Structure 1
Amino acid sequence: MIFDCHGDIWTDVTVQRDNGMKDVIKNRHLNRFNSGDIIGGIFVLWIDPPHDKNPKKRLVEMISATSTEIMENQDILKIVLGKEDFDKALEEEKLAVIIGLEGLSGIGDNINLLNALYMFGVRHASLTWNEENLLATGVRGNPERGVTALGEKAIHLMEKLGIIIDVSHANDKTFWDVYEKTTKPFIASHSNCRALCNVKRNLSDEQLKAISKRGGLVGLNSFNEFVHLDKNKQDLKHLVDHLDHMVDIMGIDHVCFGFDFFDFLENNTTDDFVEGDTIGTKDFENASKTHNLIAEMKKRGYSEEDIEKVSYKNFYRIIEELI
Structure 2
Amino acid sequence: MKIIDTHCDALYKLWRDEGKAFADDEDIATNAARLKQGNVFVQFFAIWVPSTVPQESKFQVVQKQINAFYERVLAVPNMKAIRSLDEVASLKEGEIGAVLALEGMDALGTDMGKLEWLYEKGVSSIGLTWNDANLCADGIGEMRGAGLTEFGKKVIALNNKHHVLNDVSHLSIAAFWDVLECSKRTIASHSNAYAVCRHPRNLHDDQIDALIASDSFIGVVFYPTFIKSELGASIRDLICHIDHIASRGGVAHIGFGSDFDGISIHVDKLEHAGMYEHLVNELLKHYKEAEVEGFCNRNFIEKAIGG
Q: Same fold, TM exceeding 0.5?
A: yes
Question: Runs of 5+ in structure 1 lacking a partner?
Answer: 271-277
**Is 1:313 aligned with 2:298?**
yes
Tell me if the contact between 2:3 and 2:297 (Cα under 8 Å) persists in the aligned partners: yes
Q: Which has the higher helix share?
A: 1
TM-aligned CA distance change 1:238 to 1:71, over 3 Å: closer
- What does residue 284 of structure 2 align with? 298
**Letter of the structure 2 residue corresponding to residue 96 of structure 1:** G
Report the 3-state secondary structure (helix = DSSP H, G, I; strand = E; otherwise coil) of the residue aligned with 2:268.
Answer: coil
Aligned counterparts of 1:49 and 1:133: Cα–Cα separation in 2: 11
TM-aligned CA distance change 1:139 to 1:76, over 3 Å: same
- What does residue 273 of structure 1 align with? none
- Number of matched residues? 301
Report the 3-state secondary structure (helix = DSSP H, G, I; strand = E; otherwise coil) of the residue aligned with 2:271.
Answer: coil
The structural deviation recorded for 1:85 is 2.4
Tell me if the contact between 2:9 and 2:259 (Cα under 8 Å) persists in the aligned partners: yes
Tell me if the contact between 1:3 and 1:40 (Cα under 8 Å) persists in the aligned partners: yes
Aligned counterparts of 1:319 and 1:224: Cα–Cα separation in 2: 26
Deviations 1:87-126 (A, max 9, x none): 332x152211111101111111112322111111111110
The structural deviation recorded for 1:319 is 4.7
Q: Within 5 Å, which residues of 2 pair with 1:151-170?
A: 151-170=152-171
Q: Within 5 Å, which residues of 2 pair with 1:37-56?
A: 37-48=39-50, 50-51=52-53, 54-56=57-59
Which range moves more in the overlay, 113-122 or 191-200? Answer: 113-122
- What does residue 275 of structure 1 align with? none
Deviations 1:146-182 (A, max 9, x none): 1111000000000111110100011111101111222
**Equivalent pairs: percent with the same residue?**
28
TM-score (norm 1): 0.87
**Is 1:72 aligned with 2:75?**
yes
Deviations 1:263-303 (A, max 9, x none): xx6xxxx6xxxxxxx61122322222211111111111x11
TM-aligned CA distance change 1:193 to 1:56, over 3 Å: same
**Is 1:225 aligned with 2:228?**
no
Question: Runs of 5+ in structure 2 lacking a partner?
Answer: none
- What does residue 2 of structure 1 align with? 3
TM-score (norm 2): 0.91
Deviations 1:70-94 (A, max 9, x none): 5533x322111335521332x1522
Aligned counterparts of 1:215 and 1:77: Cα–Cα separation in 2: 30
Q: Within 5 Å, which residues of 2 pair with 1:1-323?
A: 1-17=2-18, 20-21=19-20, 23-27=21-25, 28=28, 29-48=31-50, 50-51=52-53, 54-70=57-73, 72-73=75-76, 75-83=77-85, 85-89=87-91, 91-182=92-183, 184-232=184-232, 234-262=233-261, 279-300=265-286, 302-321=287-306
Aligned counterparts of 1:157 and 1:108: Cα–Cα separation in 2: 15
The structural deviation recorded for 1:48 is 3.2
Aligned counterparts of 2:155 and 2:204: Cα–Cα separation in 1: 25
Tell me if the contact between 2:83 and 2:121 (Cα under 8 Å) persists in the aligned partners: no
Report the 3-state secondary structure (helix = DSSP H, G, I; strand = E; otherwise coil) of the residue aligned with 1:7.
Answer: coil
Which range moves more in the overlay, 140-149 or 25-34? Answer: 25-34
- What does residue 274 of structure 1 align with? none
Aligned counterparts of 1:306 and 1:298: Cα–Cα separation in 2: 9
The structural deviation recorded for 1:61 is 2.2
The structural deviation recorded for 1:52 is 6.4
Tell me if the contact between 2:185 and 2:304 (Cα under 8 Å) persists in the aligned partners: no
Tell me if the contact between 2:85 and 2:124 (Cα under 8 Å) persists in the aligned partners: no
Aligned counterparts of 1:321 and 1:279: Cα–Cα separation in 2: 34
Root-mean-square deviation (CA, aligned residues, Å) is 2.0
